[in-house]
Amino acid sequence: MTKSAVQGFVFLVIATGFVVACGPEPRATVDGRAATTGSAALSEGDQIAARVDDTVILRTDVWREAQAQFGEAAGLPPELSDEDFDAIVEQLIDQRLLALEARRRDLHRTPDARRQLALAEERILGNVLVETTLEDAVTEETIQRIYAEQIRLIPRGIEVRARHIMVASREEADAVKARLDAGEDFAQLAVAISQDNATRLEGGDMGYFSRQGILPAFGAVAFATDEGAISEPFQSEFGWHVLTVVDRRQQPPPSLETLRANIVRYYTFDQLETLIVDLRSAATVERFALEDAGAFGEAEAGDPSDVEAGSPPD
């Protein structure tokens, strides 16, 4: 299975994995939930957001619907305002009313409804499997291990830390160079006369930079200047400069927090791809060309369960 196909499946999981609140069997009230076939028990710590006849809508139902509508790919609960929360509760109330009325009319027993409910059940069960598998696999220990592997592979170049003094003309730059050669302190002179307001009060300190992360004029001079040495005057688009190299170092690796989201995303796709490949290899899968798909249509006239296209709930 291709990585793009797995990503598409992940999107389907994220987009459809949190609709249990509006499933075909609404939750009963807390008092009557145990006596209602198929109803879910109230989870520890959960709260009731609304009652509709003899059924309840839980706060977790609201969060799952919010995740389906606004959630992030990482699967984290979105931040909801009171207004958003109330709006989703109202949506779920309307949806529950429609579902209850459909059941009163026995519409859930029609062949078309049973097929649609079977597909919805498959999606939900698949999502639960994926969520459970990923929850067990994507641990902090795993993230730390992948991070350690990745930073060993990331090429790291050299960074230079430099100070500079900027003036308006070559003559001024020559005068600055002469004063520095005579022993004046670079940082104090930068504070006194540099025209670069961004670095002047820091004694001209530009911090660490790579050759690719600085103006070409600076990069050429800084990386050609020895540590502790003072450059000859040079010109950039901003003026004339004299710089000194304070330190050289290998670029530090990106922090774990910088890479965390990408690691989780990569490992999620990897684990999901492994799961699907394993399931496919263990199953018997037969594909039919579009022009040969009439066999299912012929079976539609009978009981939908004659064709094993899932297990439609009663």
Distance CA 278, CA 74 (A): 24
**Rg (Cα) of the chain, in Å, rounded?**
32
pLDDT in tens, 219-241: 999 999 999 999 999 999 999 99
- Model confidence pTM above 0.75: no
Q: Right CATH number for 158-250 from 3.10.50.40, 3.50.30.30, 3.40.50.2020, 2.40.110.10?
A: 3.10.50.40
Q: Are 96 and 52 in contact (CB under 8 A)?
A: yes
Please state which of the ranges 23-32, 116-125, 201-210, 283-292 shows the lowest mean pLDDT.
23-32
Q: Are 164 and 243 in contact (CB under 8 A)?
A: yes
Q: What is the 3-state secondary structure (H, E, C) of the chain?
A: CCHHHHHHHHHHHHHHCCCHHHCCCCCECCCCHHHCCCCCCCCCCCCEEEEECCEEEEHHHHHHHHHHHHCCCCCCCCCCCHHHHHHHHHHHHHHHHHHHHHHHCCHHHCHHHHHHHHHHHHHHHHHHHHHHHHHHHCCHHHHHHHHHHHHHHCCCCEEEEEEEEEECCHHHHHHHHHHHHCCCCHHHHHHHHCCCCCCHHHCCEEEEECCCCCCHHHHHHHCCCCECCECCCEEECCEEEEEEEEEEEECCCCCHHHHHHHHHHHHHHHHHHHHHHHHHHHCCCCCCCHHHCHHHHHHCCCCHHHCCCCCCCC
Predicted pLDDT at 205: 96
pLDDT in tens, 239-274: 999 999 999 999 888 999 999 989 988 888 888 898
Residue ranges of the domains in the chain?
1-105, 158-250
Q: How confident is the model at residue 10 (pLDDT cuts 50, 70, 90)?
A: very low
